[in-house]
Amino acid sequence: MTETRTPPYGITVLGATGSIGVSTLDVLSRHPDRYQVVALTANTDVEGLYQQCLTHHPAYAVMTDPDAAQHLHERLRASHPDIRILSGVTGLETVAALPQVDYVMAAIVGSAGLLPTLAAARAGKRVMLANKEALVMAGQIFMDEIRRNNAELLPVDSEHNAIFQSMPANFAANPGWAMDEAGVRRILLTASGGPFRTLPLSNLHEVTPDQACAHPNWVMGRKISVDSATMMNKGLEVIEACWLFNATPDRIQVVLHPQSVVHSMVEYNDGSILAQLGSPDMRTPIAYALAWPQRIESGVAPLSLFDVGRLDFERPDMARFPCLRLAYEAMQAGGTAPAILNAANEIAVAAFLNGTLKFTAIPAVIEATLARVAAHAATSLEIILADDALARESARGHIMDATQGRGAAVARGLS
């Protein structure tokens, strides 16, 4: 596909109003001759998408929520009648597959990103993948669609982008790639440990959503921020790495690295370890995914190693971070177990963010859901989505049981 593409490259940004979406538009605006924004999407943030339409003049704007789409249409009608407004999941799938689109930034949060990201893969686009949940839920199906349709898959998650950069040069072009043949012994996946890495364990049960979202090094959306605090984010990233790099979970070692300067590493069988370093700013992996195999200016200030001074590495504490253990176990179990894990996590995190669930109950909800919902072979999207739905129902039920004593209003907030 790449040979036939010439600048300006047409871009769809799925999840344009989010943290990754905004960083992507920042990088794109530094290269107006190289990239052209074709479509922007958001869920309900009419004002955010309206402002982005004024700045970036896309041909299409999609709001998943139909009422929000109607509001956006009314606001843009007079000044920008040429911008086509679409809605719903079909709107997202349409703009992921438009013929004038070369690259799709997949930056919707959570399972909602799966279908539009798959649509981009099926249309043979360059998929710049931030939405790790798509791979966690449907890794085999997604990777098969990428290969079958000659699409390109560029990881945007900073760790996976770092691993991609540290892999042998021919890795990306080799669909039958095997770690052993390339001399790769292990992947060293770094993790900051989030805001509660050193908090006394006895204080963990009383942490608030705002404390959990105050990440020491990265500014991110609220869901991934909570995932970073529980280290479920790292668990999802282990699963993501297994699919991206054709690895088994035992070949992926999580390494705590509180400075978030080394973004991950690849260990080779001759004893070499290759790493990618940089400031904790998502514009670097975004620029890399956009320009690969070239490099472009990202707006990120050069990293001063003298200011960083030292780099620390620690073993993760599985007792403090049970979500990490649960993610390893789900990947080892295989089939739809990772989709069940992901669904239960989404429900538990939403309940924590709305004040219904304690932080320390998040892993308990996930573990109970994994015990209650049987996993199946993940041979079709229907099977995966059915187990995803069952897991959500089961997780809600578990939270309801656990919070019954706290009144009916709490329970209503979960439905």
Binding residues (CB under 6 A) for ligand NAD: these are 15-21, 42-43, 45, 64, 107-109, 112, 130-133, 157, 218, 220-221, 223-224, 282
Partner interacting with residue 220 (select from Mg ion, ligand NAD, none; CB below 5-8 Å by kind) = ligand NAD
Pairing of strands 35-42, 184-191: unpaired
Q: What are phi and psi of 218, to 5 degrees?
A: -120, 145
DSSP three-state, residue 296: coil
64 or 260: CB nearest Mg ion: 260
220 or 252: CB nearest ligand NAD: 220
DSSP three-state, residue 277: strand
Minimum distance of Mg ion from residue 19's CB (angstroms): 12
The arrangement of strands across the sheet holding 60-63 comes to 84-87, 60-63, 35-42, 9-14, 103-106, 126-129, 152-155
Binding segment (CB under 5 A) for Mg ion, from list 57-65, 110-118, 151-159, 248-256: 151-159
List, in order, residues 6 or more apart from 81 with CB less than 8 Å away: none
The footprint of Mg ion on this chain (CB under 5 A) covers a number of residues equal to 3
Half-sphere exposure of 337 (CA within 13 A, CB side): 16
For ligand NAD, which residue has the nearest CB? 18
Q: Residue 266 has which token pair?
A: 């690849």
Minimum distance of ligand NAD from residue 52's CB (angstroms): 10
Partner interacting with residue 131 (select from ligand NAD, Mg ion, none; CB below 5-8 Å by kind) = ligand NAD
61 or 326: CB nearest Mg ion: 326
188 or 282: CB nearest ligand NAD: 282
Q: Residue 220 has which token pair?
A: 């991110």
Q: Is 281 in the site for Mg ion (CB under 5 A)?
A: no
Minimum distance of Mg ion from residue 158's CB (angstroms): 5
DSSP 112: G
Q: 152, 157, 240, 367: which one contacts Mg ion (CB under 5 A)?
A: 157
Partner interacting with residue 385 (select from Mg ion, ligand NAD, none; CB below 5-8 Å by kind) = none
DSSP 252: E
Instruction: Give whole-number Cα distances, 303 to 167, 172, 282, 349, in Å.
Output: 22, 27, 14, 33
130 or 370: CB nearest Mg ion: 130
160 or 396: CB nearest Mg ion: 160
Binding segment (CB under 5 A) for Mg ion, from list 157-165, 252-260, 332-340, 396-404: 157-165
Minimum distance of ligand NAD from residue 408's CB (angstroms): 27
DSSP string, 352-388: HHTTSS-TTHHHHHHHHHHHHSPP----SHHHHHHHH
C-alpha 363/C-alpha 151 separation (Å) is: 36
237 or 388: CB nearest Mg ion: 237
C-alpha 135/C-alpha 239 separation (Å) is: 8
Q: Which run of H or E residues covers position 222? A: helix 222-230
C-alpha 35/C-alpha 8 separation (Å) is: 5
Minimum distance of Mg ion from residue 65's CB (angstroms): 27
Minimum distance of ligand NAD from residue 106's CB (angstroms): 8
**Cα angle vertex 162, ends 159, 163, to 5°?**
90
Minimum distance of ligand NAD from residue 250's CB (angstroms): 24
Minimum distance of Mg ion from residue 189's CB (angstroms): 9
91 or 194: CB nearest Mg ion: 194
C-alpha 117/C-alpha 126 separation (Å) is: 11
Minimum distance of ligand NAD from residue 14's CB (angstroms): 7
What residues numbered 158-197 form the site for Mg ion, per CB under 5 A?
A: 158-159
C-alpha 120/C-alpha 12 separation (Å) is: 10
Partner interacting with residue 285 (select from Mg ion, ligand NAD, none; CB below 5-8 Å by kind) = none
Binding site for Mg ion (CB under 5 A): 157-159
